[in-house]
Each structure stands twice: as structure tokens, then as C-alpha cells.
């Protein structure tokens, strides 16, 4: 494998997935959401702790899914502190751009670019976006944002 060529499960994606950054559960989350992808069987549970303004103070995830889903959840965990609904929408928009084969917008998380090879595999796009969707839904459920 290589570090970022066109291989779907390249070394950097596998390393991010294996990092398990943020994996687990929060002891007392303010909100928890589970989202399933019935097409491939991926399941993501997101626990959030929020401040009074709807900004994430802690995030944990439990992923039952492929390395792409695990890597996306780990990437979100790296940047979770300080996220609010607009910030997660911006990150999801960057992921969507990469999955359309476009360059990530300026200021995107560096991990977003790792998913570029997935653009050629439309059936795997939701594997990447499912953790973002779960955070979006958790923020919406907590009253910190609206689903788009």
C-alpha cells in the first residue's frame, strides 16, 4: 500500500482508523445518537458533551464498520473540541467536496484529503460521511443546530 495514492484503504487511512482516537463512550453524555447505513451495515454511535451554547466539549464514538468509517470518526474526534453545528456542516461540506473529486476547501482538516481515493467508489461515500451525519444529528437533537 502507499500513503495517499488511489488505493481505497491506503496506509494513512488505515493508520487513522487504527488510532481509534475518540473511540469509546462518554460516562454522562448530553446527547447520544446512533445512525446506521443499511446498505453496508456500518453503525456509528456518537456521544457528545456540550456547553450551554451548543458547542462540543467532548465527543466519543463507537463505530461498527469499515476502516473508512472508523477513520472518519477518528478525524472528527481530533477536531471535536469547539465544534458547533456550523463547524460540523463546514467539515461535512469539505468531505462532500473530496468525495465529488474536488480539492478540499482551504482551511479544511488535513485528514479530509485522505479520503480522496473514495471519490471513485460512490458506494463507499456514506462510509465516510456517516460519522459526520451522526454528529450533525446529535447537535440537532440537543438543540444546537438544525439538520440540513
Tens of pLDDT, residues 4-55: 445 888 999 999 999 999 999 999 999 999 999 988 889 999 999 999 999 9
User: Could you give the angle at which helices 67-79 and 11-19 cross, rounded to 10 degrees?
Assistant: 60
Domain count, the chain: 1
The answer to the question of residue 146 being in a domain is no
Tens of pLDDT, residues 82-136: 989 899 889 999 999 999 999 988 889 999 999 999 999 999 999 999 999 999 9
Q: What pLDDT score was predicted for residue 108?
A: 92
DSSP 3-state assignment of 46? strand
The answer to the question of residue 82 being in a domain is yes
Give the Cα separation of 114 and 75 in Å (integer).
10
The answer to the question of residue 61 being in a domain is yes
Give the Cα separation of 147 and 49 in Å (integer).
19
Torsion of CA 133, 65, 97, 33, to 10 degrees: 10
Q: What pLDDT score was predicted for residue 6?
A: 55
The answer to the question of residue 147 being in a domain is no
The answer to the question of residue 1 being in a domain is no
Contacts of 89 (CB under 8 A, 6+ apart): 136, 145, 148
Q: Return the ∠ at Cα 127 (arms to 82 and 25), rounded to 5°.
A: 50
* The dihedral sign for the CA sequence 72, 77, 81, 84: positive
- Please give the grid coordinates belonging to residue 52: 450551554
- Please give the grid coordinates belonging to residue 97: 467536496
Strands of the sheet with 56-64, listed across from one edge: 31-36, 43-50, 56-64
pLDDT band at 76 (very low <50, low <70, confident <90, very high): very high
We report the CATH number of the domain holding residue 77 as: 3.90.1010.10
Q: Please give the residue range of the domain that contains residue 98.
A: 11-141
pTM: 0.90
Amino acid at each position: 500500500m502507499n500513503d495517499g495514492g488511489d488505493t481505497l484503504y491506503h496506509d494513512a487511512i488505515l493508520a487513522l482508523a487504527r488510532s481509534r482516537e475518540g473511540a469509546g463512550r462518554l460516562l454522562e453524555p448530553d446527547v447520544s445518537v446512533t445512525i446506521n447505513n443499511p446498505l453496508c451495515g456500518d453503525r456509528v454511535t456518537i456521544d457528545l458533551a456540550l456547553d450551554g451554547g451548543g458547542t462540543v466539549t467532548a465527543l466519543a464514538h463507537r463505530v461498527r464498520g469499515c476502516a473508512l468509517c472508523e477513520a472518519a470518526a477518528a478525524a472528527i474526534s481530533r477536531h471535536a473540541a469547539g465544534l458547533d453545528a456550523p463547524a460540523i456542516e463546514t467539515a461535512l461540506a469539505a468531505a462532500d467536496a473530496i468525495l465529488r473529486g474536488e480539492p478540499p476547501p482551504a482551511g479544511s482538516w488535513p485528514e479530509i484529503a485522505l479520503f480522496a481515493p473514495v471519490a471513485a467508489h460512490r458506494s463507499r461515500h456514506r462510509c465516510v460521511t456517516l460519522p459526520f451525519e451522526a454528529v450533525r444529528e446529535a447537535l440537532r437533537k440537543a438543540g444546537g443546530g438544525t439538520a440540513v
